[in-house]
Amino acid sequence: NTFMIEKKKTELYQELGLQARDLRFQHLMSIATRNNRIIMRMEFLKAVITPEFLLILDYRNLNLEHWLFNELASQLAGEGQLVTYSLPFEFRAIEAILQYRISKLQGRLNTLQPQILETLEALVDPKLLSVDRSKLHILLQNGKSLSELETDLKVFKETILEILDEEELIEELCLSKWTDPQVFEESTSGIDHAEEMELLLENYYRQAEDLANEARELRVLIDDSESIIFINLDSHRNVMMRLNLQLTMGTFSLSLFGLIGVAFGMNLESSLEEDPRIFWLVTGIMFLGSGLIWRRLLSFLGRHLEPPLPPHVPAVLKKSQPAAGRVELKNNLKAETFGLSRSTLTNQ
């Protein structure tokens, strides 16, 4: 049965046997027990679980109507796909809330993953000479959302891990075990509710760990793509710098041999200006000399900018060193043997 109630906070925590700080809204995640009540905070979602009912506080501001009236009621009634349908009510309530939280985190990851992959595919294209600033802005926003998701997953895992490390906390979460004698008899006859609760928490801890691994892979992919983008930009920058250097060398070559034209352009008389062929000769020398110097400078530039070749390793050195050591040892033994035989023969 699903219904809505409106009460003052003072009346509510007195009726539940809680304190005022237990119903205080805090944007964090925690699972705690007090006075046979389970208080679950999932950031904006806050719930109080008892052996008889599940109380969701202030659901109108969280847009939870669809989940509360269409999914949660059937899950608590055992009609859903919850693993704990045969266990007491608090098990189903805890699993329903954890499943809702994991589904929200999974939905955020499913929304971010295609956007990040599409943006990275457009940014790492080697054909692009410049980076689209709009794509970088989208990648920055997606990276920020991914960081928030990683933080939420980390908090979720730490909260569950704190409970798994304490057996007393796991026992306190089994409310019906201490209030219903029949449930306690069933637990002593073979159904250990503490183990069931531990398995339940471990299951959602593994799911959160899987989501964290997927988010971590996306983060590594973003970092690798950023490195590729920087490499592409550096490569294009190096090409432009090399082109600028080549043009500077060409300008230097023309200026160097342009001094000949400057010399002939002075208002000084000589016998060379009377020859009609001297103009074409000097012009040809200027262009030919400029081309040769430019070619020489380009070859010099190419030798100094090309990466050095790896040193050549002879085929003899590629053999294993222990074999050479054994050969040398055998030769020494042969030499010592020959020396002993010669000395023996001399003594005789």
pLDDT digits (tens, 9 = 90+) for 207-228: 999 999 999 999 998 888 877 7
For the ranges 48-52, 94-98, 211-215, 246-250, the maximum mean pLDDT occurs at 211-215
Strands 38-42 and 45-49: antiparallel
Q: Which region among 133-147, 186-200, 227-241, 299-313 has the lowest average model confidence (pLDDT)? A: 299-313
Report residue 305's pLDDT band, with 50, 70 and 90 as the boundaries.
low
Helix axes 193-264, 278-305, angle to 10 degrees: 160
What's the pLDDT score for residue 88?
A: 82
- Taking residues 124-137, report their average pLDDT: 68
Report residue 348's pLDDT band, with 50, 70 and 90 as the boundaries.
very low
Whether pLDDT at 186 is above 60: no
User: pTM here?
Assistant: 0.65
Q: Which domains does the chain have, with CATH numbers?
A: 68-237 (1.20.58.340)
Token pair for residue 36? Answer: 């046979």
Report residue 128's pLDDT band, with 50, 70 and 90 as the boundaries.
low
What's the pLDDT score for residue 339?
A: 42
Do you know the residue count of the chain?
A: 348
How far apart CA 276 and CA 280 sit, in angstroms, is 8
Contact of 28 with 38, CB cutoff 8 Å: no
With vertex at residue 96, the alpha carbon angle to CA 93 and CA 98, rounded to the nearest 5 degrees, is 110
Residue 204: count other Cβ atoms within 10 Å of its Cβ.
Answer: 19
- Taking residues 110-134, report their average pLDDT: 77
How far apart CA 164 and CA 161 sit, in angstroms, is 5
Token pair for residue 252? Answer: 């230097």
* Half-sphere CA count of 208, side-chain side, radius 13 A: 24
Token pair for residue 301? Answer: 């530039």
pLDDT: which is higher, 247 or 260: 247
Nearest to 164 by CA among 314, 31, 337, 12: 31
Q: Which region among 92-101, 191-200, 223-232 has the lowest average model confidence (pLDDT)? A: 223-232
**What mean pLDDT, rounded, does the chain reach?**
75
For the ranges 80-89, 238-247, 274-283, the maximum mean pLDDT occurs at 238-247
Helix axes 193-264, 89-123, angle to 10 degrees: 10
Percent share of the chain, pLDDT over 70? 72
Which 8-state DSSP code applies to residue 305? Answer: H
User: Going by C-beta distance under 8 Å and a sequence separation of 6 or more, which residues neighbour residue 51?
Assistant: 36, 88, 89, 90, 175, 176, 179, 180
